[in-house]
Amino acid sequence: MDKKTVAVFCTDVVGYSAMMSNDEQETLRTLDKCRAIIDSLINNYSGRIFSTAGDSVLAEFENPIQCVKFAIECQLSLHERNQRSTAPPMRWRMGLNYGEVVVYGANLLGDTVNISARIESMADYGGIGMSHAVYSQVAETLTSVKFVDRGEQYFKNIPKPIKIWSIPVPGATKNPNNKSKEVSRVERDAMISHVVNDRSAMNHGLQAALDYKADGKYEYAARILMHRITNRDTASLDGLISMCKKKIIPDQLVDYVVAILDECGRFFDSERQFQIGKVFASGVLGDYRSKAIKIWRLSAERNEEAAYELGAMVLRSDVSSEMEIQAAVERLGAIAKTKNISAMIVLAEYFAKHLDVDGHKEQTFCWLWAAREYREPKAQLLLEQLTKNLTRKEVINYKFSAEALIEEISWHLK
Specify the pTM.
Answer: 0.57
pLDDT, one tens digit per residue, over 299-330 is 999 999 999 999 999 898 766 778 889 999 99
What number of H helices and E strands is found in the chain?
A: 18, 8
Residue (of 119, 117, 134) closest to 58 by Cα position: 117
pLDDT, one tens digit per residue, over 93-125 is 999 999 999 999 999 999 999 999 989 988 999
Provide the residue type at 180 as one letter: S
pLDDT, one tens digit per residue, over 267-299 is 999 999 999 999 999 888 887 888 999 999 999
Q: Is 320 buried (19+), middle (13-18) or exposed (0-12) by CB count in 10 A?
A: middle
- For the segment 165-173, the average pLDDT, to the nearest whole number, is 89
- For the segment 156-179, the average pLDDT, to the nearest whole number, is 79
* Residues contacting residue 84 through CB under 8 Å, at least 6 positions apart: none
Residues in the chain: 414
**Three-class SS state of 322:** helix
Provide the residue type at 188 as one letter: R
Residue 182 has pLDDT above 60, yes or no: no
pLDDT, mean over the chain? 91
Q: Which residue has the higher pLDDT, 179 or 360?
A: 360
Q: Are residues 332 and 349 in contact, defined by beta-carbon separation less than 8 angstroms? A: no
Q: Is 323 buried (19+), middle (13-18) or exposed (0-12) by CB count in 10 A?
A: exposed
Cα–Cα distance for residue pair 57/61, rounded to 1 Å = 13
Report residue 177's pLDDT band, with 50, 70 and 90 as the boundaries.
Answer: low
Report residue 71's pLDDT band, with 50, 70 and 90 as the boundaries.
Answer: very high
Looking at 223-289, which runs of residues are DSSP E strands? none
Percent of the chain residues past pLDDT 70, beyond the cut: 96
- For the segment 62-72, the average pLDDT, to the nearest whole number, is 97
DSSP conformation letters of 71-123: HHHHHHHHHHHHHH-SSPP--EEEEEEEEEEEEETTEEESHHHHHHHHHHHHS
